[in-house]
Structure 1
Amino acid sequence: MNRLLGIGMLSVLMFTTFLTFYQVHHQVRQDFQQQLAMMNQLLVKATTLLLLDDTEQDINAFYSTAQHHAGFPVLSITLLDANKDVISSTGLSTLLQQPEQDWFADQHQILWLHHGRILSSQPLLLDQQVRGYLLLEAGNPPFPWALWLWQLAIWLCLPCLLLLWLWRRSNRQRLLLEQSYQELKQAMICWLEGEPDVPLTQQHPMTGLFNQLTERMKQKQQAHAQQGEELARQLEGIEQSRVALQQQQQQAQQVMQQLSQQQAQTEQETNQLLRLLVQTAQPWQSSLLQDVLYTRQGSVAVQVSYLPDWLAQQAEQWRQLIKPEQTLLLEEDNLASEYQLHLAADSLALCCRALLRLAAQHSCHSQLSLQWRLAVAKQELHFLLLLKGESLPADVCQQLEMATELPARELALDIQLFSFGCKQLSAQVTASCLDELGSSIELCIPCRYEPCAPPSQIAKVHLLAEPKLISPAQLQSLKLVCHQLQHHHSLGEWQAAQSEPTEPLLVVLPEPQHQEAHGYQSLLARPGCLALSTASQLDSWQPFASSPVLPLPQTASELATALQQLEAYSPAAVRLLVVDDNETNQAFIQAMLASFPLQLTAAMTGLQALELCQQQVFDLILMDIQLPDLSGVEVTRQLRQLANYQQVPILAFTAHALPDEIALFKQAGMNDVVIKPLDAPKLTNLMKWCRPRPPGSG
């Protein structure tokens, strides 16, 4: 602030000095102009008189004297006539050499020229007429050097005095600040040490502020002390609450552990109970309980599934879920054998079982058709259930279509299971129904496809099935597993074809009351025959078959497995030794077994049978009891001593057998008894003992 004040005073002083100098200089200039005007008037009067009487030399002498005695520097005095020609001059002015300038006027004028020169122009008037012109050229007026020196002295002295004053003032303030700093420092030390009296003088500028600060600090200390006490009490209360909460938390954890253990135990007991119920319940009840158990697991894994094999695993259970008056068809896609699918297969099986149970519950007299379509480009799998005949109720179809959106408590159990499976599969459901015409439920399931090598096909298969007994879907499944399928529409057509006994035969059995039922019974005893029948007729046909009769429908994978087993039969695969001394019986047996893939060898005596068995290994032996040399019981005992005949079936072939005799036969090592003569049922029983050996065995 002091510096700004000093600079302001210096500026005012310099401005005042400059203003004074300007006024003095202006006054000197005005005085010079007055002197020049007076001299010019004197010269005009004198020149007017001289022009009347004197000569040009007198005028020059006068002008020289006037120039010499002038009180200011006169450069030249020039007299011109009316035509502006020079009459007399003390020194010709260089201004007259500039014709472009007009230096003459009708009245007196003073011109300040450059380079410090002054020109005075005065016309000469006689009788109100211009007789000539008088030009007076002078130099600069005398400069006031004393004034400049005085101003310079003021400008030099005043800043020095001002700087000296500022220095002394700042030095005094510095000393005061140092003294105040020392006092303030001492006071701060005393205040920090807790001394109540602060050693500050009453005149110190910081005394009042420091006292206010001290008072505020005391108040804040008191407030902080009170707040600290209050916070300490609150902290103590919080600590007590924390200890109480910790105890409550420990108790809650113990209770939760007990509840968790009880829940786990209850869950385990429930699952055990459900598994027990699964074992003891009916097929549809067992599948329902299995699905409930599946939903209780929670997590669902994505699996890599080969669709034909997966269908084969599920088909048996699906056949058990439908009612006897219902029929089930399985329609597979031709592309199913070329890809593996990445999807939650268990969830898909859950949806299928739930739909089949609903169909069995609401559509008792309908034909069910399960269809599969692969959309490889869209990475989707389409599953379609068609019910032909009696349809599902409209409200059931609507709930199935909106199963994933409706609350579970509003749905029936099977629809809840269906909804769970659809959510796990991210499937889109479309359901429709027409009264008395049927229903359709379609699932569009996103999945990922992975190409795989298609399974090997069977070279040639004979199919004996009346057209009404086999559907196009079943024919399509057969074409997927065999390279060449020869279809025979009747038993007579099959017998006329005279096929090779080693080629697999697939038979779709008619009703047991069929007019050619006896011919089908004989055909079932053929080892290379695979029989299919409806579920309601299995028990009627099974006693006549040498292998299990399979229920309809059969998937492509199931048919492929069964037919591959049939392919194991070859002309040398089943070797039969018939030991009988009656040639008529030998011829009859050969005639009965001519159409079967067997290699038949005959032995007339017991010793011949032992010799043949030592040369090769037979798969089945039909042993007569009464032989001319050794009894069949003795031959059997000796054969059981051989290493290769420990497990070979040996059947007693006799006209009569009492219980004691049968016990003797089995004690000797025989497996069963065949009563003479040989007929179709006995032939079927005989073929059941034919076990094919692996190709290449001795």
Structure 2
Amino acid sequence: MKQLFIRPLWPLMLAIVVVLSLVASWFSLQLWQQQQHTAYLHQLSRHAALLAMHPLREQNSQALSQTLQALQQHSVLPLQAMAVYDKNQQLFAATAGSEEVLSNYSPLPSATQPVVVADGMLLFSVPVWADVQQQGRHDLPVPAISSEQLGHLLLVAGPSSAVPFWLMLPMLLLVLLAALLLYGWRQKKQQKRARQQLLLSQQLQQGCVADVQGHDFALLIDAWQQQQQRHQQQVRSVARDAELRLQQQEQQHAHTAENLLQLQQSYQQLKLHSQSCDQQLKFWLELCHRSDSLSAVDLRSKIQALQLLSELHAADFSLQPDHFWLPDWLAQQAPHWFSDNKLPEQFVFDEDPQAYQFKMNIDTRLLSVLCHIFSSYCQQAAAGQDILFSYRFCEVPQKQLKLTFKYAGAGFSARWRQLLLAQPDSELTLDDVEAEVARRLLQELHGSISLNSLEDLGTQLDILLPVSWQKTSQSKLCQSILVLDERACRLPLLKQSLAAIGEQVHSVATLAALPEAVQLRLVDLVIVLLPDSCATLHQDAAQLTTLAERYQLLFFTSDKARQLWQPLLASRLLPVPMLLSHVSHALQHPNELGNQQLLVVDDNLTNLKYVQAMLSGGGLRIDIAMTGQDAIKMASNNRYQLILMDIQLPDLAGTEVTKRIRQLRHHQHTTILAFTAHALPDEIAGFRLAGMDDVLIKPLDTRKIAHILAKLSPADEIR
């Protein structure tokens, strides 16, 4: 019965499939045409935005209107309106009739994707930037990072013309006619085969085997094979239906399991949020009960911790990374880690020698709070002992920032260890707020922590925070630094940190060794950590004052030593602990003429004394040399801003001395003036070829002294 019902219907099913295929093809053609229309309008709007950039910047509305009019006229698609608005949302330029068209769609939607506003119209809104950098394909402009938006372009396009469906009707009729003809031919063939099979069956039943021909047996076998094929097809059809039902049931089961999992996750999140709210409420209630027994500093600290904890539990909380140099950020934020907004003298900072080679990206507010919590705890546990704080940039196995607190004192309590590892054995109290905040901060920053504490050896806290950074091409600020600290245990840390801004870092441990150390090598900067007590105070202060006249010195001192040294030193005293940012800032902003030195080379002692007398009132330090070798030796061991070079010296010519001085790295940009009694044009040309900047004719007068002082520019950088 099923075969009789299905077999005659296959032409009808074929016709239905063909009709559906034609309809689907028509819809696909419509969709493809619409996509092409949208892509063209995308490209047109981007090119129009690029063309509008210059007129909009120059405020040339007439030229921009003409450009838009030309684009509308030459467009292959119907454009109803094109208009450009400035950054104040005012109409700047438009094509003819655009204002009337745009008024029908007020207020205008703002979208970077096409929006269907009415009657099938498409509206585009494209920003116009002040400058554009090209990335990838040339037809996809991308605004520069620092670009400013000058305005935006609006474009309204009419609906695309649809392909009429009646064009498909002839093809549909031909397919239906072919299906009917095929159906008739197949029916006739099946009827003929059925008559033959019936006749053969009757002959076999009557025993008329002799009348059966060979082709009749073949026909019988063929009929039996067809019946078997139909049976197999029915079996396969039933199997496919069963498999399809099984797949549908499995998909429904998987979908149900997925929904159940999502519901469980949502329930767990709601449960955790509810527990968090209950816990915070208990914290606030406990704080209200204990507010009278807490000091103002502790009360303020608890309130800030609870506020931050509430913010961390909020659903809309997100990280806000900043782009910064860690040494500069450390100098600004480290004092705020403590209640008096001042770095304790017990802190010693070990900064990464590559600190200024990386600009880091991380949420600085969360990082500052994390350091504040652990710094305060370490300060209490160290009980006045030194605390070493260090940071390092690690690239293996991934980019990480490693923060280390190390001190000799009591280790972290078992309660803090449990809270930081999220394994508390009892309910949280108000005293656990700081540890809970630290745990949540580490969780938000995806960081990890390790605590190592050994009795009589000290405690070390390591924090690893995954960060991203960009390498910079910033060169070191100076070539040679000399650091003085009578605490020998601190010198290696200072030298290692100062390697971030100096190519060479040397050290001495006593004030008495400082004069000899600066004479042995060319030093750009001398850093002195003044001791808290000194037996030869006045003598050492006078020695430091003398060195400050010739070299650039930075003084760091404790509060106790400040009262001792400040009355005797005219220089500014910076507080300890010393940070890289303090030294870097001092190198970039030196005194105007504090370390200007002048070298006068002349074999006539009378001339030298006269030059010294004439220039001594300018606040300069003047060195003299009477031979070329002496001049080369003094230039090798000192940094001069200007050199007056006599041409005729007893051992070497002034031009040869100049050539050798120019070979010294720190004198490649020094101003060198030829100091001679006469000079012809050819001689002046030879002086310049030797490396001299100008010629100064003897003797000196007021005008020439002014010329020398003009050549001495302020020492705004150390090369």
Please give the range of the TM-score, normalised by the shorter of the 2 chains. Answer: 0.3 to 0.5
Q: Under a length normalisation based on structure 2, what TM-score does the superposition of the two structures give?
A: 0.37
Please say which structure displays the higher CA radius of gyration. 1
Q: Under a length normalisation based on structure 1, what TM-score does the superposition of the two structures give?
A: 0.38
